[in-house]
A and B are shown apart, each in its own frame.
Chain A
């Protein structure tokens, strides 16, 4: 079935780095734009970054621009986010999600979500 599975979360000290992965299955991964989102404990959803289906364009939330890098490997059906210079305020559950439109160049909405992986930034 259509599925996204995140991994790579954990506890990390401020200023350190972490890479999250998202494994896609059950659909043609290279046809879909993909996103990362996060949700701090007890708070609302926050968009982190998007990468178009072919990797040609990437956009970032202001809060992570310059520190996070989104990437994908269409040959492995994998999505990644490299998170550098982590801060306490980056503590959240991180979700990957699929954009609904096939070969979409304008992000629209997100129809498949992973189960999330928790990132805790603390000394």
Chain B
């Protein structure tokens, strides 16, 4: 079955650039999406179709997807960006939605 792998945690200082990776076999051939989730809240879509931002998501959030790796980049990271981040893709061969295991972003 198809799997997406994320680092369990990423830490960055305020104002710096945080990067969260998501690895999957030929992930670049699929659309990758990203969500953040704060404690006690529902997930929020922050990137879809690899690079697009939904309305209301700050420009500091950007995405890329090539080869086997999708990357969520948060430029000028802020304390409010502390959350769990999940990557997601659709695996057409199994007809399953796949999530990565999640990455806890800490802003030091």
Q: How big is chain A's contact interface, by range?
A: 20 to 34
Q: A9: CB under 8 A from chain B?
A: no
Tally of B interface residues using CB under 8 Å: 25
- B44: chain A residues at CB < 8 Å are 113
Q: Are A107 and B45 in contact (CB under 8 A)?
A: no
A25 → chain B closest CB, angstroms: 16
The prevalent SS among residues of B at the interface is strand
Q: How many angstroms between the C-alpha atoms of A87 and B95 in the bound complex?
A: 24
Select from chain A the residue with minimum beta-carbon distance to B6.
A44
| Binary flags per residue of B75-108, CB closer than 8 Å to A gives 1, else 0 | 0000000001010101010011111111000000
Q: Are B99 and A109 in contact (CB under 8 A)?
A: no
Select from chain A the residue with minimum beta-carbon distance to B45.
A111
Given A108-B33, A108-B90, A109-B31, are A47 and B54 neighbors across the interface (CB < 8 Å)? no
Q: B43: CB under 8 A from chain A?
A: yes
Q: A29: CB under 8 A from chain B?
A: no
Q: Are B48 and A108 in contact (CB under 8 A)?
A: yes
Q: A54: CB under 8 A from chain B?
A: no
Q: Are A111 and B99 in contact (CB under 8 A)?
A: no
| Binary flags per residue of A96-113, CB closer than 8 Å to B gives 1, else 0 | 010010000011111101
Q: Are A109 and B45 in contact (CB under 8 A)?
A: yes
Q: Are A109 and B88 in contact (CB under 8 A)?
A: yes
Q: How many angstroms between the C-alpha atoms of A1 and B31 in the bound complex?
A: 28
Q: 24 A-B Cβ contacts within 8 A?
A: A44-B84, A45-B37, A45-B99, A45-B102, A47-B96, A47-B99, A59-B95, A62-B1, A62-B96, A95-B42, A106-B92, A107-B90, A107-B97, A108-B31, A108-B49, A109-B31, A110-B33, A110-B43, A110-B88, A111-B48, A113-B43, A114-B42, A115-B42, A116-B42
